[in-house]
Amino acid sequence: MRLRRGVVAGCLLGATSGWNFGNIGGIASELSRSYGVGLATIGLLTTAMVATHLAIQIPGGRASDRFGPARSGAAALVVLSTGNALALAAPEAGLAVAARAVVGVGTGLAFISGSALVRQSGGSPLAQGVFGGVSLAPGGIALAVVPQLEGAIGWRAPYWTALALSLAVFATVLVLAPRTAESATAPDVGSAIVRDRRLYRLAVLYAASYGLGVVLANWVVELLQRHSDMSDGTAAAVGALTLLLVVVSRPLGGWVLLARPRSTRPVVATSIVAGTAGTLALLAAGPAWLAVAGALLVGVGAGIPFSPAFTGAAATRPDAPAAAVGFVNTAANLVVLVGTPLLGLAFSLSGEGRLGFAALALLWLAALAVLPSGRALGVRTAASP
C-alpha cells in the first residue's frame, strides 16, 4: 500500500506542475485586455515561468535527494500556491511576470520531486512513464477548462484554478507520501553532476525527443495554416496530436524498459527515427493524412525516451538520482526556451518556417549518433529483481 500511495503522490505533484503550463494559453487574449498589454507581453508570463522552472532543476534535485522528495514536493506546492496567490492581487503585468517566475520555481521543484517520489516509492519504469504522461496531460486539460471559467471569475481564472489544485494536492501529499523516502546527499553534488559525462548522452536524447517535440508543437499549427489547405480547426487538431500522444507513448517507453529491457535501445532508436520522419511529414504540410501520420510519429518520438532517460540518469548517479534527472531535464527545457523563439524567426525567412522544420528534423536525427547504451538507459536497473 505504501508503494501505491507514494506513486500516486508523485504523480499528483507532476500533474500540479503540468497544469501551470497550460492555464495561461487558453485565455491569452482576455488577459491581454485585462492587463492592458499586447500578446507579446502575455507571452512573457510563460517565458518567466519556464526560465525559473529550468533554473531550479538541478538545485531542486539536490534538495529532493538531501531532504527527501516528500518534503521537497510539499515545499514546491507552497511555492506554487504563493506565486499564484501573488498573481491574484491585481491585473498588473509586472506583478504577473514576477508571480509566474515564482510559480516556475514551484513547477520545477514539483516535477523533480514527483519523479523522485515515484522512484523512491518503488515505482517501476512503467510507473515512471505513467508519471510522465500524467505530468503532461493537465496542461492540455487546463487549456480547455480555464476558458470555461473565465466568464465567471475573469482574468483570475488561471490563478484560482492553479491555487486550488496546489492546496488540494498539498493536503493529499501530506497524507499519501511515505515518510521514509529520503536520503542524505553531499552538499556539493550539483557541480559533480554537471561534470559527469555519463549523463550527457541521456541529456541529448531527452533534449532531442521532448525538447524538440515541444518546440515543434508550438509552431506546427502555424506551419500547416500557411502551407496546407486545411481549415484552422483541422490544423489545430493535428498539432494537438503531437503532444496528446506523448501521454500514451511515455508509459509505453516505460513498459518496454520493464517488460522487454533488451529491446529498449532499439526501440528508443526507432522512436528517434519516427520523430525525424514525423517532422518531415509535417514539413510537407499535406495531404491531411500525411500530416496526421507525421503528428502521430512525432508523438511517439517525443514520448518513448522519457522513462529510459530518467531511469538511466537515476541509475547512473545512485548517490544523487534526483539531481541527475534534474540535469537531464534541464537540457530539454533549455532547448524549449531557446528553440521556440528561434523556430518562430524561421517563419520570416524563405520557406516561411519550412527551413526551421528541416533543421529540427536534422537535429532529431543527429541524436542517433550519441544514443546511450542499453545499460545507460537503465536496462540493468529495470531487469533487476
- Which residues does 161 contact at the CB level (< 8 Å), separation at least 6? 19, 23, 142, 145, 146, 149
pLDDT at res. 378: 82
Percent of the chain with pLDDT over 90: 58
Q: Which of 140, 124, 110, 137 is nearest to 10 (CA)?
A: 110
Best CA proximity match to 162, nearest among 85, 96, 258 = 85
Please report which confidence band the pLDDT of residue 190 belongs to, taking 50, 70 and 90 as the band edges: low
Structural domain total, the chain: 2
Q: Which range among 76-85, 138-147, 162-171, 373-382 shows the weakest confidence by mean pLDDT?
A: 373-382
Report which of residues 110 and 24 the model is more confident about.
Answer: 110
170 belongs to a structural domain: yes
Q: For residue 293, tell me if it sits in a domain.
A: yes
- Residue 86 vs residue 285, higher pLDDT: 86
- pLDDT category, 385, cuts 50, 70, 90? very low
- Is residue 185 domain-resident? no
Does some domain include residue 156?
A: yes
Instruction: Count CB atoms within 10 A of the CB of residue 187.
Output: 7
Specify if 134 maps to a domain: yes
Q: Check whether residue 120 and residue 240 sit in a common domain.
A: no
- Supply φ then ψ for residue 233, to 5 degrees: -65, -40
What is this structure's pTM?
A: 0.86
**Structural domain boundaries, residue 343:** 191-383
Q: Which of 117, 146, 179 is the last residue of a domain?
A: 179
Answer with the one of 130, 146, 179 that is the final residue of a domain: 179
Contact partners, residue 384, CB within 8 Å, separation at least 6: none
Question: 226 in a domain, yes or no?
Answer: yes
Per DSSP (E only), the strands in 158-299 are none
Residues 6+ positions from 255 with CB-CB distance below 8 Å: 125, 126, 129
Q: For residues 228 and 222, what is the distance between their CA atoms, to the nearest angstrom?
A: 10
Report the alpha-carbon distance of residue 91 to residue 344 in Å, rounded: 28
Q: Which residue has the higher pLDDT, 374 or 183?
A: 374
Average pLDDT over residues 123-127: 88
Give yes or no: residues 261 and 151 share one domain: no
d(CA 385, CA 382): 8
184 in a structural domain: no
Point out the domain boundary residue: 148, 179, 210.
Answer: 179
Q: Report, as an integer, the average pLDDT of 33-51.
A: 88
Q: Is 287 left (phi over 0), alpha (psi -120 to 50) or beta?
A: beta
- For 335-340, what is the mean pLDDT? 88
Q: In this structure, are residues 219 and 351 in contact, taking their beta carbons and an 8 Å threshold?
A: no
Question: Does 169 have pLDDT greater than 90?
Answer: yes
Domain match, 287 and 372 both: yes
Q: What band does 351 get if pLDDT is binned at 50, 70 and 90?
A: confident
Same domain for 197 and 169, yes or no, is no
Q: Is the pLDDT of residue 184 over 70?
A: no
Residue 48 lies in a domain: yes
Do 218 and 161 have their domain in common? Answer: no
- 175 plus 199 within the same structural domain: no
Do 371 and 309 belong to one domain? yes
232 and 315 together in one domain: yes
Q: What is the mean pLDDT of residues 53-72?
A: 92
Average pLDDT rounded to a whole number, residues 192-208? 91
| Cis amide leading into 287 (omega within 30) | yes
% of the chain with per-residue pLDDT over 70: 95
Mean per-residue pLDDT, 369-377: 90
User: Region 130-135: what's the mean pLDDT?
Assistant: 92
The whole-number average pLDDT for the span 324-352 is 89
CATH of the domain at 353: 1.20.1250.20
Tell me the CA distances in angstroms from 34 to 20, 46, 89, 151, 152, one per residue in order. 19, 17, 13, 13, 14
State whether residue 235 is helix, strand or coil. helix
State the cell numbers at 179.
Answer: 515518510
Give the per-residue pLDDT at 139: 85
Q: Tell me, yes or no, whether 165 and 216 share the same domain.
A: no
Same-domain pairing of 203 and 99: no
Q: Are residues 246 and 163 in the same domain?
A: no
Q: Per residue in 271-280, pLDDT tens?
A: 999 999 999 9
First-to-last C-alpha distance (Å) of the chain? 19
Q: What pLDDT is attached to residue 178?
A: 72
Statement to judge: residues 104 and 225 lie in one domain:
no
As a whole number, mean pLDDT of residues 225-248 equals 84
- Mean pLDDT score of the chain, rounded to an integer? 89
Residues 25-54 have a mean pLDDT of: 88
- Using a 10 angstrom Cβ sphere, with 0-12 exposed, 13-18 middle and 19 or more buried, the burial of residue 23 is buried
